[in-house]
Structure 1
Amino acid sequence: MEDYIEGALAAGHIRPSTPPAAAGFFFIEKKDGGLRPCIDYRGLNAITVRYPYPLPLVPAVLEQLRGARVFTKLDLRSAYNLVRIRKGDEWKTAFHTTHGHYEYCVMPFGLTNAPAVFQALINGVFRDLLGRDVIAYIDDILVYSTSMEEHVCQVREVLARLQRFHLFVKLEKCEFHRTTVTFLGYVISPRGVEMDTNKVRAVSEWPAPATIKELQRFLGFANFYRRFIRSYSSVAAPLTSLLRGKPKKLNWTGQARAAFQRLKDCFTTAPILCHPDPDKPFVVEVDASSSGLGAVLSQRHGNPGKVHPCAFYSRKLTAAEVNYDVGNRELLAIKAALDVWRHWLEGARHPFQVLTDHRNLEYLRGAKRLNPRQARWALFFTRLQFTVSYRPGSKNGKAVRGGWRPWTTRAHPSGYRSAGSGPVGPTGRDSAGPRRGTASR
């Protein structure tokens, strides 16, 4: 603590203070073994007006990397300390130590608005490069290019821009001109995006939780990578159900133990997610069960074309959605999947295909009568150009697997039957789902 105080005073980051209030001071360990100073600003944060500047959505920004072959990762040194506190507000950052009271002249870690403020700063620095050559998430910067020659020029431009704005990188944490790089918890390469092997190892070696807090910690860690796990919500359902009602004690059952092991196994077998290519048509596979729904966004690559996943999506059904009949649950799965991936599917260059194991949905465009909920969904569908094709549940293995059997229909020899080439809309049968009693189980 003495070394930090002396260094911060010499650098002009802090100064002695006589404030009316002060926060506690402590250190936390960093990944590289060093110590990061932290101040307990919970009281100050509780009365702070939030700065409404959005942080980038990491999965969304990683989709920009299609076609990139070379990467450079930069990490800024003491990034927050590069921003000055507004004059007159320094006393609000006061903290106390055994050696006296001090206040920050620069932005410290722990302030609720610090991430948003710095993100606004870094976006201003790279405004014309974001989405083209650069991804910037607070103090982590990724430069990406399609060729080495182009990459060298882009890295020089980024470093010159940082120098111009008096921002400095931490050389020991930077990686230059790599074909594979770990960035924001993901391993990025020309093939696509995959999970960090160190984090996968941590999950595979995770001991069975003994308390509610330990289970919450495991699920929070696993949830970060849920987009890589097929039917994540269904696999994790026995574990999340243990947290329902805010229990005081963990009831670790045999079902929970099996789900815990299955979820760990899913991490070790998760696929590489390909970068979506707008020049290729998409395929959306959906399925629904009595407790959840799931979907896979895929594209064909190579010659002959082989289907590769771009993203997985799953969630549990709400209390109201559990009461939907099978047809409406399948229709809900389509609506939910198209909504979450609409930034790729809406305005796609090619009509995309939706695969479902519920045959009646093929005739959705011929529906003459829709209930209000189906009508709302049908209105959303008119924004998209796609066809619905039937594929038996036995061949629809990538999406959610439920505890119910598919409706008994005769499968097409090719594995699915096309519903037509036109856009799906609210014109077809009486309803999107079957009437009760009209299908056998």
Structure 2
Amino acid sequence: MEYAMPLVDDLLTEMEAYLWFCPLDAASGFWAVMMTRRARKISAFVCALGHFEWLRMPLGPKNAPMIYQRMIDNALWGFVQPKGGWATFTEQMRIAEMTDAEDRAGVTEASVSPNETSRTKFEADRALSTTKSAVATLVNSPLADMYSSGEPDESSLVPVLDRRSFVDDICFGSETFEACLATLDRLLSRFQECRISVSFSKSLFVQRKVDFLSHDISAAGIAPDAKKAAVVTELSSPASKKGVQSFLGALNYYSRFIQDFAVYGAALYQLKDADFEPGGDLSAARQSFAMLQQRVRDAPILRHFDRGKDVHVTLFANEWALSSTLMQEHEGKLHSVRFCDRVLKDAEMNYHPAEKEVLALLLVEGMLHSARWEDYSRLHPVLNTRVGAQV
């Protein structure tokens, strides 16, 4: 199974008009997805207690995130519907759940036959789930399989949000408190139709500032999560190449907030195991490490990208790295929207400075593909000309 998963950067855009935010966390995660009989047999396992089969989707299967993401996307956008329509499916699922609840209410330790000394309450519950469960029967029927034909059915549903979720994490907002409540009401009604629950304890409802995917989001802009950023700034200097890689991996998630990340990080990327042996020179690496920690500590609040405003880009290129800063004017001043940078490849290090600046411009255009739709392919021929001979 292949299903495109969302990118974190794309989910942090299109929030420039929001004043109120509402992050939701779906309850139970993958367990909200019922397993078909075939899937139960495939995912079965044996342990010291016996043979077990998953009744709901576990965390282990590699396609579990894609299946769950597809289910949430279908609820948000209304792509397809079960055979017979959502109203029919919802009513039949309600009846099936009531039937199962009534059956389970009669299964107690006392109700188990005394002749079946080896049968426990757990085994009795399992028997009801696998043989008599009305919900399992409905899930395995063609009525519930909305993807069996491989073609989407015409759905009566309309999108309730113009945004995607990141698996079970959803964030949306509105300009006014009342509009945010109205969107929340539509979303919860849709989730009720699609049999999706929301965790009350993990969700926030109509707030000025929220945490979403380890980012602090407000009307003022986006900032890294203060607690997670503090952990990075308190790390001691790594004593091995693996420690350096872990440090750089932690910074990569917040690289959009770190100006000249690749410029200072290049010295760390070039480290080898031999550099950490006695006699190795780590002075440049320690300086880069300290500078990157300082940049994380001083990370600014990045403004939301506004499609209606002009874009200003500053470019920087040296012998080993590129750096670009996207800015827009707010309150009469230019504010940073995104920092983009990368280390140059071996062949690119021989480029003319003007060619490197073109690469820096292409870098920011490529990273912001979801923010602006521009034809920047005309910049590529510049790299094929003899810039050095013309300048």
Same fold (TM over 0.5): yes
1:64 matched to 2:14? yes
Q: Which of the residues 336, 339, 343 maps onto 1:309?
A: 336
Equivalent-residue separation in structure 2 for 1:432 and 1:67 (angstroms) = 45
Q: Secondary structure at the match of 1:309?
A: strand
Q: Which residue of 2 aligns with 1:278?
A: 307
Q: Secondary structure at the match of 1:109?
A: coil
Deviation at residue 54 of structure 1 after TM alignment: 1.1
Corresponding letter in the other structure for 1:226: S
Q: Which of the residues 337, 342, 346 maps onto 1:319?
A: 346
Greater relative contact order (CA < 8 Å, ≥ 6 in sequence): 2
Q: Which of the residues 235, 250, 255 maps onto 1:221?
A: 250
Q: Does structure 2 retain, via aligned residues, the 8 Å contact 1:331–1:432?
A: no
Q: Which residue of 1 aligns with 2:363?
A: 336
Equivalent-residue separation in structure 2 for 1:71 and 1:213 (angstroms) = 39
Deviation at residue 101 of structure 1 after TM alignment: 3.2
Equivalent-residue separation in structure 2 for 1:343 and 1:433 (angstroms) = 31
Q: Which residue of 2 aligns with 1:413?
A: none
TM-score normalised over the length of structure 1: 0.65
1:136 matched to 2:165? yes
Q: Does structure 1 retain, via aligned residues, the 8 Å contact 2:240–2:276?
A: yes
1:255 matched to 2:284? yes
Deviation at residue 76 of structure 1 after TM alignment: 1.3
Q: CA 1:247–1:82 in 2, change beyond 3 Å: closer, same or farther? A: farther
Corresponding letter in the other structure for 1:435: A
Q: Which residue of 2 aligns with 1:82?
A: 32
Q: Which of the residues 171, 175, 178 maps onto 1:149?
A: 178
Equivalent-residue separation in structure 2 for 1:168 and 1:247 (angstroms) = 53
Q: Deviations over 1:37-62 (max 9, x none)?
A: xxxxxxxxxxxxxx221111111121
Q: Deviations over 1:317-369 (max 9, x none)?
A: 11111111222222222222223334434359xxxxxxxxxxxxxxxxxxxxx
Equivalent-residue separation in structure 1 for 2:247 and 2:35 (angstroms) = 37
Corresponding letter in the other structure for 2:10: A
The percent of aligned pairs where both chains have the same amino acid is 29
Q: Does structure 2 retain, via aligned residues, the 8 Å contact 1:327–1:432?
A: no
Q: Which residue of 1 aligns with 2:235?
A: 206
Q: Which of the residues 311, 316, 327 maps onto 1:298?
A: 327
Q: CA 1:129–1:273 in 2, change beyond 3 Å: closer, same or farther? A: farther
Q: CA 1:344–1:72 in 2, change beyond 3 Å: closer, same or farther? A: closer
Equivalent-residue separation in structure 1 for 2:190 and 2:228 (angstroms) = 33
1:109 matched to 2:31? no
Equivalent-residue separation in structure 1 for 2:210 and 2:260 (angstroms) = 28
Q: Which residue of 2 aligns with 1:234?
A: 263
Equivalent-residue separation in structure 2 for 1:252 and 1:211 (angstroms) = 13
Q: Secondary structure at the match of 2:303?
A: coil
Corresponding letter in the other structure for 1:211: S
Equivalent-residue separation in structure 2 for 1:336 and 1:203 (angstroms) = 26
Q: Does structure 2 retain, via aligned residues, the 8 Å contact 1:64–1:131?
A: no
Q: Does structure 1 retain, via aligned residues, the 8 Å contact 2:10–2:370?
A: no
Equivalent-residue separation in structure 1 for 2:23 and 2:287 (angstroms) = 39
Q: CA 1:135–1:346 in 2, change beyond 3 Å: closer, same or farther? A: closer
Q: Does structure 1 retain, via aligned residues, the 8 Å contact 2:21–2:174?
A: yes
Q: Does structure 2 retain, via aligned residues, the 8 Å contact 1:233–1:292?
A: yes
Corresponding letter in the other structure for 1:310: V
Q: CA 1:268–1:248 in 2, change beyond 3 Å: closer, same or farther? A: closer
Q: Which residue of 1 aligns with 2:188?
A: 159
Q: CA 1:87–1:294 in 2, change beyond 3 Å: closer, same or farther? A: same
Q: Does structure 1 retain, via aligned residues, the 8 Å contact 2:6–2:164?
A: no
Q: Deviations over 1:237-280 (max 9, x none)?
A: 1111115xx77967671211111111111111111111111111
Q: CA 1:78–1:345 in 2, change beyond 3 Å: closer, same or farther? A: closer
Q: Secondary structure at the match of 1:298?
A: strand
Q: Which has the higher helix share?
A: 2
Q: Deviations over 1:280-318 (max 9, x none)?
A: 11011111111011101111112xx20011111000111
Alignment length (residue pairs) = 308
Q: CA 1:343–1:125 in 2, change beyond 3 Å: closer, same or farther? A: closer
The gaps in structure 2 that reach 5 residues or longer are 78-157
Corresponding letter in the other structure for 1:344: A
Q: Which residue of 1 aligns with 2:69?
A: 119
TM-score normalised over the length of structure 2: 0.73
Q: Which has the higher strand share?
A: 1
Corresponding letter in the other structure for 1:191: A
Q: Does structure 1 retain, via aligned residues, the 8 Å contact 2:13–2:371?
A: no
Q: Which of the residues 268, 273, 276 maps onto 2:297?
A: 268
Equivalent-residue separation in structure 1 for 2:75 and 2:349 (angstroms) = 48
Q: Does structure 2 retain, via aligned residues, the 8 Å contact 1:192–1:272?
A: yes
Q: CA 1:126–1:219 in 2, change beyond 3 Å: closer, same or farther? A: same
Q: Secondary structure at the match of 1:267?
A: helix
Q: Does structure 2 retain, via aligned residues, the 8 Å contact 1:71–1:143?
A: yes
Q: Deviations over 1:76-95 (max 9, x none)?
A: 11120111233223232233
Equivalent-residue separation in structure 1 for 2:350 and 2:296 (angstroms) = 32
The gaps in structure 1 that reach 5 residues or longer are 1-50, 349-376, 383-424
Corresponding letter in the other structure for 2:345: T
Corresponding letter in the other structure for 1:203: V
Q: CA 1:432–1:68 in 2, change beyond 3 Å: closer, same or farther? A: farther
Deviation at residue 432 of structure 1 after TM alignment: 6.8
